[in-house]
Structure 1
Amino acid sequence: MDLIDRIGYFLTLFSEHLLISFLAMFIVSVFGVAIGIWVFYSAKAQRIIMPTVNFLYTIPSIAMFGLLIPIVGIGLQNALIVLVLYGLLPIVHSTYSGMKEVPYNLVDAAKGLGSTPLQLFRHIYFPLALPSILSGLRITTVMVIALTGLAALIGAGGLGQAIFRGLNTMNTSLIVTGSLGISLFAILGDKFVGTLEKKNNLQRIISRNALPSQKHFIYINLAVLAVLLVMSLAYINPFASAKERVITIASKPMSEQYILGEIMSQLIENETDIHVIRQFGIGGGTTNIHPALLSGDLDMYVEYTGTAWMNVLNQKSQLDFGQLQQQYQENYQLKWLGLLGMNNTYAIAIPESIAAQKQIKTYSDLVRHSGDFDFGAEFEFFERADAYPSLIKVYPFKFAKLHEMDISLRYKAIEEGKVNAIDAFTTDAQIEALNLQVLVDDKHFFPDYEAGIVIREAILQQYPALTKLLMQLEGEISTDKMRKMNYQLEVLKETPKAIAQEFLATLRNKHEQ
């Protein structure tokens, strides 16, 4: 029933994935073949281009997405650059290899008949290299469709968004649906290129020796692709936002961020005529969202005071909220619209049964028993200056083993017994669901992480009514309330949309009384 309710959501992701993949493949095909031809005819180009293409292919795709954010921002442009760069290698190689393997006796015979270099290319080299080019195109098609799934991490959309949302909210149906969707896309893409490759169909059409049945077979496939592209373009209508009053709301890849993003989105849509673009689940969190706000790619999101002080302003200690607001306004032209009321600070959690057995209540207690624990946390926790590197200076933990993992997997790891201590957030629903005990930070290491709305000043100047509207949320979402909403999402499997609707209805009733 959950998937049926989300049919519109999946149609959007399907359309985005198709358009991104097709656009990337079109660019790759044109430039990849052109570069392959250039490399074949130019020894100097070969010495430069081939090692460069090979080197780019060695860079992890996720890293490439992140490296491009300061240069081109997030979204479609970033995704296309990465997909094209990764797609070039097979196409360039297959084009170059196909032309190089053309039998020289055919070339020599054509030259003897007086063929010009252009005629040699049109009638000898390219037609005979075409099977090799199409073979490379099949490999590239599958690879690009799969990599398009990762583009969701930088807000480009596509079916990968369902996978990452499912991982971050522990929703298996989303993971399975997104994965199957990408697999189906890859299979269909491979089959489509296969129709061009089969029995040299495309080669025969180019050489004008194709049978009518071969022509019709290819034309039907091209017509189906064209219809799907037009329908996808019409469904998501990417040109509509240029004419509308629009605002883009982002979220980090966490359960509560999906909920809070949806609350803000629905509040704006219910009370104004502003169109909201949802860019939820941005990979890297603040690291990627903050620069995107500064560049204007995003307009607002929920941030935490501790993260703002330590990771954005690079301060070793926190000052009062007024000073935080002032520095954001002076340094970045961003405004904090109050605080929501919750403090989602870091914590360390262990199973209640182990805590009772070993009589561990505080971090200091855990230090004495740390050799008995395998500690798991997300990658960011081991890197942040306000997390593990500084934590072990205050509490000299000597865990038996450290496990770095995606933020969405640490509760799964403790549930399956792969670790028996994890980092947690005080609003996490799984604390209650898995009977975990949050230990007391007896030396008060972790700072406050109070949630608040950060928005570009330019947006408030454009839509001044937003200030009063969004300030309705100030102090309305306590830590306990947020934990319960996270529980609804992760354990009861309710959607962020439904949870946000329920919260806003309660808030509306409260204001009307």
Structure 2
Amino acid sequence: MRKLPAAASLAASLAAVALTAGCFSSTGTDAKAGSLAEGNSLKGVTLTVGSKEFTEQLVLCQVTALALRSAGATVKEKCGLQGSNTTRAALTSGSIDLYWEYTGTAWVNYLKQTEPIGDPARQYAAVAEQDLAKNKVKWLAAAPANNTYALAVKTTTMRQLGIADLSGYARLAKTDPSKASTCVASEFAGRSDGWPGLQKAYGFSLPKSDVATLAEGAIYDAVGKGEPCAFGEVATTDGRIKALGLTPVPDDKKFFPVYNPALTVRESVYRDDPAIEKIANPIAAALTDSVLRELNGEVDIRGKQPEEVAETWLKSKGFIGG
């Protein structure tokens, strides 16, 4: 992996601290002990949990904070950091102690690998081994959910256009680019496992006039309305896909990597408090695609707060006390 020069590394760490300043919350919802706390005490331990800014991450941040509190830990929250690189820098610099990351993101963005591994178990094993060895980041168990990228379109529009897969979308982008108009978020627009890589893999180049850069959350409504774009970047575990009548276009060339979420912990933190793993792993095992879509939908469609959604779900599983 290409390492930053010392000055750049220091700058990144300072930037992470600056961007997270003022985002602390140590007065979050208390949690009674449930199954996660059985034999797993974190009394006297103080931990800072972080997350990226999108809905799923905000929910997982609250899930983690409540789970740790149920075992007696004092938990500070830095939920909602802006972007993958900022959140990762917060972890490695010590600004946060743990957060949920995705196997594909780590493989491509942090480990600088250009060829994703299609098998989820092999991809996780490779990420966990290399990240620990190179960056002292410990990966706990991965969830079965795969929150990968996709291009989505209104289901009725997909039928009208006769698009069956991304190869069909690429042909449309070449022959009638205005009908292939696409909305992307700024991070996706610059990632090698995002828009640039997708165009290269499928052999098309959509004119800039037919590409709109929107906030990630706004893309779903834009695609649902077909304005300003017919297609848009989505996350496959987002509850708004079904609610808005969208269909992810099948990735027939298997371009998008596997993105299984797992709790990542700085190695020194894990070494001091290994009970974190016994608390986190049952949560990971329960996070399927359908569960994440439901939790995300509770926030994005029904307007509930992430902490409320997290608490209700943890109680429903008996993970924390009622």
Flag whether TM exceeds 0.5 (same fold): yes
State whether residues 333 and 457 of structure 1, in contact with CA within 8 Å, keep that contact through their aligned partners in structure 2: yes
Letter in 1 for 2:82: G
1:403 pairs with 2:207: no
Unaligned 5+ segments in structure 2 are 1-7, 29-43
Give 1:279's aligned residue. Answer: 78
Q: Which has the larger radius of gyration?
A: 1
Root-mean-square deviation (CA, aligned residues, Å) is: 2.4
Ranked by relative contact order (alpha carbons within 8 Å, sequence separation 6 or more), the top structure is 2
Distance 1:497 1:509, change over 3 A: closer
State whether residues 16 and 89 of structure 2, in contact with CA within 8 Å, keep that contact through their aligned partners in structure 1: no
Deviation by residue 1:116-166 (Cα, 9 ceiling, x = unmatched): xxxxxxxxxxxxxxxxxxxxxxxxxxxxxxxxxxxxxx22236xx9xxxxx
Q: Single out whichever of 306-315 and 318-327 deviates more from structure 2.
A: 318-327
Secondary structure in structure 1 of the residue aligned to 2:151: strand
State whether residues 155 and 280 of structure 1, in contact with CA within 8 Å, keep that contact through their aligned partners in structure 2: no
Letter in 1 for 2:62: E
Unaligned 5+ segments in structure 1 are 1-65, 79-153, 162-234, 237-243
1:259 pairs with 2:59: yes
Q: How many residues align?
A: 285
Distance 1:504 1:306, change over 3 A: same
Distance 1:261 1:69, change over 3 A: farther
CA distance in 1, matches of 2:222, 2:204: 20
1:369 pairs with 2:172: yes
Letter in 2 for 1:250: G
Aligned-pair CA distance for 1:413? 2.7
Letter in 1 for 2:20: G
Secondary structure in structure 1 of the residue aligned to 2:276: helix
Deviation by residue 1:159-190 (Cα, 9 ceiling, x = unmatched): xx9xxxxxxxxxxxxxxxxxxxxxxxxxxxxx
State whether residues 100 and 264 of structure 2, in contact with CA within 8 Å, keep that contact through their aligned partners in structure 1: yes
Give 2:107's aligned residue. Answer: 309
CA distance in 1, matches of 2:296, 2:168: 29
TM-score, normalisation: structure 1: 0.52
Give 2:3's aligned residue. Answer: none
CA distance in 1, matches of 2:181, 2:127: 37
Secondary structure in structure 2 of the residue aligned to 1:427: coil
State whether residues 73 and 297 of structure 1, in contact with CA within 8 Å, keep that contact through their aligned partners in structure 2: no
1:379 pairs with 2:244: no
CA distance in 2, matches of 1:275, 1:463: 13
Specify which structure has the higher proportion of strand: 2
Distance 1:313 1:461, change over 3 A: same
1:187-206 correspondence runs (5 A): none
Give 1:219's aligned residue. Answer: none
Deviation by residue 1:347-370 (Cα, 9 ceiling, x = unmatched): 110111111112212111112222
1:351 pairs with 2:154: yes
Give 2:48's aligned residue. Answer: 248
Aligned-pair CA distance for 1:464? 2.6
Structure 1 consecutive aligned stretches of length 4 or more whose deviation exceeds 6 Å: none
Give 1:497's aligned residue. Answer: 307
State whether residues 58 and 80 of structure 2, in contact with CA within 8 Å, keep that contact through their aligned partners in structure 1: yes
1:75-474 correspondence runs (5 A): 75=17, 78=18, 154-157=19-22, 245-272=45-72, 274-284=73-83, 286-319=84-117, 320=122, 321-370=124-173, 371=177, 372-399=179-206, 401-416=210-225, 417-474=227-284
State whether residues 60 and 310 of structure 2, in contact with CA within 8 Å, keep that contact through their aligned partners in structure 1: yes
Distance 1:298 1:509, change over 3 A: closer
Deviation by residue 1:210-234 (Cα, 9 ceiling, x = unmatched): xxxxxxxxxxxxxxxxxxxxxxxxx
Aligned-pair CA distance for 1:509? 7.0
Secondary structure in structure 2 of the residue aligned to 1:323: helix
CA distance in 1, matches of 2:48, 2:95: 8
TM-score, normalisation: structure 2: 0.82
Secondary structure in structure 1 of the residue aligned to 2:293: helix
CA distance in 1, matches of 2:241, 2:15: 36
Aligned-pair CA distance for 1:256? 0.5
Secondary structure in structure 2 of the residue aligned to 1:280: strand
CA distance in 2, matches of 1:482, 1:354: 26
Letter in 1 for 2:80: G
State whether residues 73 and 295 of structure 1, in contact with CA within 8 Å, keep that contact through their aligned partners in structure 2: no
State whether residues 263 and 501 of structure 1, in contact with CA within 8 Å, keep that contact through their aligned partners in structure 2: yes
CA distance in 2, matches of 1:506, 1:403: 40
CA distance in 1, matches of 2:99, 2:203: 35
Give 2:39's aligned residue. Answer: none
Specify which structure has the higher proportion of helix: 1
CA distance in 1, matches of 2:284, 2:157: 38
Secondary structure in structure 2 of the residue aligned to 1:251: strand
Distance 1:71 1:309, change over 3 A: closer
Secondary structure in structure 2 of the residue aligned to 1:281: strand
State whether residues 350 and 437 of structure 1, in contact with CA within 8 Å, keep that contact through their aligned partners in structure 2: yes
Indicate the percent of aligned positions where both proteins have the same amino acid: 27
State whether residues 69 and 288 of structure 1, in contact with CA within 8 Å, keep that contact through their aligned partners in structure 2: no
Deviation by residue 1:222-281 (Cα, 9 ceiling, x = unmatched): xxxxxxxxxxxxx99xxxxxxx63111111111000111111110000122x11111011
1:507 pairs with 2:320: no
Distance 1:432 1:249, change over 3 A: same
Distance 1:69 1:412, change over 3 A: farther
Letter in 1 for 2:215: D
CA distance in 1, matches of 2:233, 2:54: 14
Secondary structure in structure 2 of the residue aligned to 1:459: helix
State whether residues 224 and 245 of structure 2, in contact with CA within 8 Å, keep that contact through their aligned partners in structure 1: no
